Amino acid sequence: MPAAPGTSKFQIELRRHLRGQNISDNLVHLICEIAEASKYVINAVRTGDLGVAGTSNLYGEEQLALDVLSDRIMRKRLIHSGVVCNIASEEMDEIYQAQASADGLYSVAYDPLDGSSLVDVNLAVGTIVSIYEGCDLLQPGRNQVAAMYILYGPRVSLVYTVGDGVHEFTMNNLMEFTLTRENIRMQEEGNIYAPGGLRNKYNDGDEQFIRHLEAKGCKLRYSGGFVPDINQVLMKGKGIFMYPALKGSPNGKLRVLFELNPMAFIIEHAGGSASNGNIPILDIVPESLDQRAPIYIGCKADVKAATDFLAEHKGVPAAAASFVNG
């Protein structure tokens, strides 16, 4: 992306960068609208009510007032964008139809405030967004046309891909998102790991994989927030995040539509990989909005090592498991 004369590459704001991508004007508009909505979410996070909303979400989890407010901000902005057909939110029980026709329109699945329970201890949280062409949201994640997240941390950053590189923007003092990293790439192997879930509920393959990581000197880096934890692996270009199947929870915790597909799309386009332990996350055919799956996401060598350990400890030779992963 060449910078205009007299400006540095890092004064390029989001809309101009998007216009340099081979995407429709409607998709440029949609991504910019989501970026605008995030500014109201930031304000809610920084000043809003930390209490409970007295309602629960699709998973029976108690909703915080911030969950409900953030969801309302995102949904209203998507509806009024004029380019959205269907909307699915982690905070809504069913799909919301904004427009009936599919021509030139997009469908959006989002988690408006992932990690919201971390706000009251002042840890970083984020918004995660997955975008498809047309009206069908129950597609394999490989069909996404865009994925992005906004990270509300010490700085506010926005990361997106439309399939041609992964790019980071940081909010400046005018609340504009300007380019800070372009074409981010993962290294082949990492030295940090983010292990989700209770260790005493790990199956043997996962336990042995963690010991393998510790033996090779990897450092544990886990905040409990999916967005900051993935962002750390991506920005350092090395490491692995995992939330495995647990004893009693064979599909782990994280949601395919709202969390795993967008992050897998981003990490794969940065040269990493993402697996459920058997197949790439992006090849999962979702059967319901609330479908969950185990996830191993980050450097290719680390993700492959994880799937090899799982295979070895399920009696399947590692080579066979490697074949499955391609």
Q: Please report, as ranges, the residues that interact with ligand AFP according to CB under 6 A.
A: 114-118, 196-197, 224-226, 253-254
Q: Which is nearer to ligand AFP, 152 or 226 (CB)?
A: 226
Are 299 and 238 contacting, i.e. CB atoms less than 8 angstroms apart? yes
Q: Which is nearer to ligand AFP, 13 or 207 (CB)?
A: 207
Q: Is 90 annotated for ligand binding?
A: yes
Q: How far apart are the first and last CA of the chain?
A: 32
Question: What's the min distance (Å) between Cβ of 42 and ligand AFP?
Answer: 17
Are 267 and 149 contacting, i.e. CB atoms less than 8 angstroms apart? no
Instruction: Find the farthest-apart pair of alpha carbons in the chain and give their distance in angstroms, rounded.
Output: 62
Question: What's the min distance (Å) between Cβ of 254 and ligand AFP?
Answer: 6
Q: Is 114 annotated for ligand binding?
A: yes
The torsion of the CA quartet 282, 284, 289, 290, rounded to 10 degrees, works out to: -100
**Separation between Cα atoms, residue 169 and residue 158, nearest integer Å:** 5
**Which whole-number Å values give the CA distances from 42 to 156, 158, 181, 263, in the listed order?**
8, 12, 21, 21
Question: What's the min distance (Å) between Cβ of 120 and ligand AFP?
Answer: 11
Q: What length does the chain have? A: 326
Measured from each CB, the residue nearest to ligand AFP is 226
Q: Which is nearer to ligand AFP, 106 or 193 (CB)?
A: 193
Using alpha carbons only, give the angle 11, 149, 85 rounded to the nearest 5 degrees. Answer: 110
Question: What's the min distance (Å) between Cβ of 204 and ligand AFP?
Answer: 20
The answer for residues whose C-beta is within 8 angstroms of residue 132's C-beta and 6 or more apart is 106, 107, 108, 109, 139, 143, 144, 145
Question: What's the min distance (Å) between Cβ of 125 and ligand AFP?
Answer: 8
Q: Is 113 left (phi over 0), alpha (psi -120 to 50) or beta?
A: beta
Q: Is 289 annotated for ligand binding?
A: no
Q: Is 116 annotated for ligand binding?
A: yes
Q: Is 115 annotated for ligand binding?
A: yes
Question: What's the min distance (Å) between Cβ of 246 and ligand AFP?
Answer: 9
Q: Is 307 helix (H, G, I), strand (E, B) or coil?
A: helix
Question: What's the min distance (Å) between Cβ of 22 and ligand AFP?
Answer: 32
Q: Which is nearer to ligand AFP, 28 or 240 (CB)?
A: 240
Q: Is 111 annotated for ligand binding?
A: yes
Q: Which is nearer to ligand AFP, 114 or 168 (CB)?
A: 114
Q: Is 259 annotated for ligand binding?
A: yes
Q: Is 130 annotated for ligand binding?
A: no
* In the chain, beta strands by DSSP E: 52-56, 62-64, 84-89, 96-97, 106-114, 125-133, 146-152, 156-161, 167-171, 177-181, 192-195, 219-220, 240-243, 273-275, 295-298
Q: Which residues are part of a known binding site for Mg(2+)?
A: 90, 111, 113-114, 259
